[in-house]
Amino acid sequence: MHHNRASLVEGSIWQSMLLFALPVFLGNVFQQFYNAFDSWVVGKFIGDTALAAVSSSGSLIFMMVGFFNGVAMGAGVIIARFFGARDYTGLKQAIHTDIALGLASGAVLTVAGVALTPTILRCMGTPEEVLPQSISYFRYYSWGILFTVMYNIFVGVLHAVGDSRHPLYYLIFSTFVNVVLDLLFVAVFHWGVGSAAVATTISQGVSALMCFVYLVRAKDLPYQLHWREIRFHSKSLREILRFGLPSGVQNSVIALANVVVQSNINAFGAAAMAGCGAYSKLEGFAFLPITCFAQALSTFVGQNLGAHRYDRVKSGVRFGILCSVIMAELIGVGAYLLAPQLIALFNDAPEVVAYGSHHMRIICLFYCLLAFSHCIAGILRGAGKTSIPMLIMLMCWCLIRVSYITIAVSYVPQLETVSRAYPITWSCSSLVFLIYFLKADWIHNFDRMAAKEA
């Protein structure tokens, strides 16, 4: 059957999971380049203040967009279930409700972003000399935030039905658009830091439009989008919010906790900020295999539970966890060995390299724990248990992380104390997830769970 080409409920488990995860991984690599290139162009052609302006907006953008990405993840769980169960009426309603929700939230975010930019940035303690450029960048970015939200919604729909190739093609194309426009607006026309945000907005708009056109033209496919059918279906909306809100809250609160971590790093001065900043750019790349496996597991579990293929769920879960944990640890060991050289790629001042590589070496050998936590969270999301990863991650990655830093730094005021927050809190979340995973009856008896549902 034509629509089965994206299904994860048949064929070899490892093959279907890797074929799904690889394009997600490559897409995320391009997304990272996209963000890093923006910073590079602005730093190179406008200067340090402009680079600081772009960086200071980063955590804010992640907090706003991260929430709606989480909600889109919830919608993805429902869509994957309907697709796996071949319930195409439910599938259509969920997709059209999801898109209606994206349009509404994108509109609200645009108004809020444009109107409240100066207030928000002042509340975040953005330094006065950086403030005008920060306001310019974030305000222009806000005008196009609808495109960002819609792109994430469309990609969520395509991932849920097992299509990770098309979003990759569109992302590659829009990355080239972004690179060309960045160079044109910033380096050639000298339009300032706001124009870098305009370049990003245009390229996000291009990728969102390409996804939209593909979904509208997906004739004979059960997930075809019909412009006139975009509306809220109350049952679908309730389900999407039930599964999506916990992930959205989790994304935003973890972003908030990391803002607290950042403000503690800032207290150690410019070299520490630059060193840890270089590490966080590298960390973005190192985490990619981890997040793409968590996403693959989510879709795989959702589709196979929908199709009642419980045997596949168990084998897939084992394969996904094993792959992700081994890959994460190999990356961690590589990062540990090459730390000074990697940090020097961004800034080769000896003090910066010393701070950055020390920070990196404290954290990177524990990537396997981060991978384990993300995988279990992905499995739970795919099974519709989104509140559990939210509670565990909020407790470990937010409450414990912020409490530890606040107390420990006052006793041992060193950068290492801040760096240790990550391995400590990843260990906590892994332990709690492991206990839950071993104890939770429904994981070992998916078939019994189905009998209860029926």
DSSP secondary structure letters along 395-417: IIIIIIHHHHHHHHHHHS-SHHH
H-helix or E-strand spanning residue 445? none
Yes or no: say if 252 and 67 are a contact pair by the CB < 8 Å rule.
Answer: yes
CA distances to 68, 95, 254, 451 from 257, rounded to whole Å, are: 18, 32, 5, 41
Whether residue 442 is predicted with pLDDT greater than 80 in this model: the reply is no
The percent of residues in the chain predicted with pLDDT above 70, rounded, is: 95
Place of tokens 């960048």: 137
CB count in 10 Å sphere of residue 334: 13
**pLDDT exceeds 50 at position 350:** yes
Q: What's the CA angle centered on 120, arms 243 and 395, to 5 degrees?
A: 40
Closest by CA to 253, choosing from 53, 377, 120, 70, is 70
State the Cα–Cα distance between residues 67 and 256, nearest whole angstrom: 11
pLDDT average, residue stretch 236-252: 90
Q: What distance in Å separates the CA atoms of residue 324 and residue 322, rounded to the nearest whole number? A: 6
Identify the pLDDT of residue 2.
41
Question: Phi and psi of 430, rounded to 5°?
Answer: -65, -40
Q: What is the pLDDT of residues 299-315, one digit of tens each?
A: 999 999 999 888 899 89
- pLDDT above 70 for 6: no
| Residue extents of the structural domains in the chain | 12-232, 245-454
Which pair of structure tokens corresponds to residue 159? 């991932």
Q: What is the mean pLDDT of the chain?
A: 89
Who's near 63: CB < 8 A, 6+ residues apart?
A: 252, 255, 256, 259
80 pLDDT more than 90: yes
- Structure-model confidence comparison of residues 348 and 398, the more confident one: 398
Radius of gyration in angstroms for the set of CA atoms belonging to the chain, rounded to a whole number: 22
Q: Which residues contact 243 (CB under 8 A, 6 or more apart)?
A: 73, 74, 75, 77, 78, 381, 384, 386
CB-based burial of residue 342 (10 Å sphere; 0-12 exposed, 13-18 middle, 19+ buried)? buried
pLDDT of 40 reads: 79
Cα 309 to Cα 12, 152, 218: the distances in Å are 13, 28, 27
> Which amino acid is residue 413, in one-letter code?
P
Q: Is the pLDDT of residue 53 over 90?
A: no
- Give the pair of three-digit tokens for residue 446: 């998916």
> If you average pLDDT over residues 95-109, what whole number do you get?
95
pLDDT at 124 over 60: yes
Average pLDDT over residues 177-198: 94
pLDDT beyond 90 at 230: yes
What's the pLDDT band for 50 if we cut at 50, 70, 90? confident
The two structure tokens encoding residue 24: 């997600």
Residues 6 or more apart whose CB falls under 8 angstroms from that of 291 comprise: 28, 374
Of 166, 221, 204, nearest in space to 26 by CA: 166
Query: For the chain, what is the largest distance between any 2 Cα atoms, rounded to a whole number of angstroms?
Result: 65
Query: Which one-letter DSSP state was computed for residue 233?
Result: -
Distance CA 346, CA 341 (A): 9
Q: Are 401 and 421 in contact (CB under 8 A)?
A: yes
Residue 454, pLDDT > 50, answer no
Q: Which residues contact 367 (CB under 8 A, 6 or more apart)?
A: 286, 287, 290, 328, 329, 331, 332, 335
pLDDT value, residue 261: 84
CA distance 175 to 393: 32
Q: What percent of the chain has pLDDT over 90?
A: 59
Q: Cα–Cα distance between 200 and 212 in angstroms, integer?
A: 18
Please tell me the predicted confidence (pLDDT) of residue 345.
83
Closest CA to 428 of 399, 386, 385, 387: 399
Average pLDDT of the residues in 129-147: 90
User: pTM for this structure?
Assistant: 0.84
